[in-house]
Amino acid sequence: MENKRVMNVKTWLQKAKQRIDALDAELIAHFVFAPRRSDRSWLAAHGDDQISQPQLRRANVLLEKRLRGVPLAYVLEHKEFYGRDFWVRPGVLIPRPETESLIDIIKELDLPQQPKFLEIGTGSGCIAITLALEYPQAEVIASDISTKALGIAERNDIRHEGRVEFVQANLLRDLGLDLMQGEHFDVLVANLPYVNKDWEWVDENSLSHEPSTALYAKGNNGLSIYQRLLREISYHRNLDELWLDYLVLEADPCQHEALIKMAEKANFTYLKTDGYALLFEDGWRYWWDWRKQGYVHKTPEVIADELKTGMISYCPEEDCMLEPNIDPGNPDFSE
C-alpha cells in the first residue's frame, strides 16, 4: 500500500479490506491508530483522522504479515484467554478457546483456600497465570523446556501481578522432585503437544507459524508425551516424592478413550470430560473396601491425616487384617 501520500483511517481501511479479511483489517487499524482503551467503534467515529507516516508504515507492515499468512495473534502480538489479554510471539502456541475448559474443570473442584498448582509445558503462561488470578491465595509453579517460552510467560506474569514461579524443565525432570520429600500439589495441569500430523483434518499450513515442538507428538497417535508424563508421575509417586490430588489434561476428543486407559493404568481414576479437558483423581485418595470388594474414595478426614503424616494407606487397618491377600503396595485402579 502507498505510504507516501497523506491518508486517513477510513481510506486505509477501505484499501486494507480489499486485501485481507475485513475484521482482520479493522483489528489491525484499531491496534495501530486508536487509543489503547478504546473499542472498535472508534474507527467509525474517527474515519477522517489523518494517519501519521510512522503509523502508516507500521500498519502496512502488519498488513503484509497477515497477507503472508501470519496468524493475527502474532501480527498483533496479543490474544485473549479467559477474559484476559496475553502477549504472544511465534515462540509459543496461540492460546485457544478450547483450552479454557481446563480452567473451567478445575474451578469445579472442591479445593482448599490456598491450593497448590503445577503446570507442565506452560508456553505463554496463560493457564498458570489464570489459575493464579482465579485463586489469589494459590501457589503456582509452571515449567517449560523452552527458554524462549519461559521469557514470554514471565513477561505475561509480570503484566498480571507476577505471582507464578517459572522453572525450566523437561516434564518432571529438573523440577527437583528428588529433593521434595512428599511434595504435594492439589492439581497438576498440562496441555502438552498431542497433535498427530497423520490426522486427515490437520491443516499444517495454517499451523506452520506456530512452534511445531509445542504442537506435534510422534507415536501413540499423538499421546507419546502424555505417556512419558504419566510414567514420570508414577516413578516419583512410588518414591514418595510426589503426591497429586487431581490431574487435568488437554487432548483431542479422538484421543480421550486411549488417554483415559493410559491414566487408569498409572493409578488415576477418570472423573469427567469437559470439551478437550479430562479430569482424573490420583489413586492414593482411594483404598480397598474389603466388604464391598472394590476401591472406594477415602473420607476427607483420612485424606487430610495422610497428607499431614505423609503415610499413605491402601486399605483401613482393620480391613487389611481381615483380607490378607490384599497387596496395598501395588494397587490396581484400572477397573
Alpha-carbon distances, residue 256 vs 212, 273, 278 (angstroms): 22, 9, 8
| Rounded CA Rg of the chain | 24
Res. 316 pLDDT band, cuts 50 70 90: confident
Q: DSSP label at 70?
A: -
Cell numbers for 218: 510422534
Residue 179: pLDDT above 70? no
pLDDT in tens, 275-299: 999 999 998 888 887 777 778 888 8
Residue 321: pLDDT above 60? no
Q: Give the separation between CA 152 and CA 94, rounded to whole angstroms.
A: 12
Res. 331 pLDDT band, cuts 50 70 90: very low
End-to-end Cα, the chain, rounded Å: 64
Report pLDDT for 89.
94
Q: Give the separation between CA 33 and CA 59, rounded to whole angstroms.
A: 8
Supply the DSSP string of 276-334, one letter for each residue: TEEEEEEGGGEEEETTTTEEEEPPHHHHHHHHHH----SS-HHHHHH-TT--TTS----
Report pLDDT for 332.
46
Residue 326: pLDDT above 60? no
Report pLDDT for 178.
59
pLDDT in tens, 69-127: 999 999 999 999 999 999 999 989 999 999 999 999 999 999 999 999 999 999 999 99
Alpha-carbon distances, residue 213 vs 10, 145, 146 (angstroms): 41, 10, 10
Decide if 255 contacts 281 (C-beta within 8 A): no
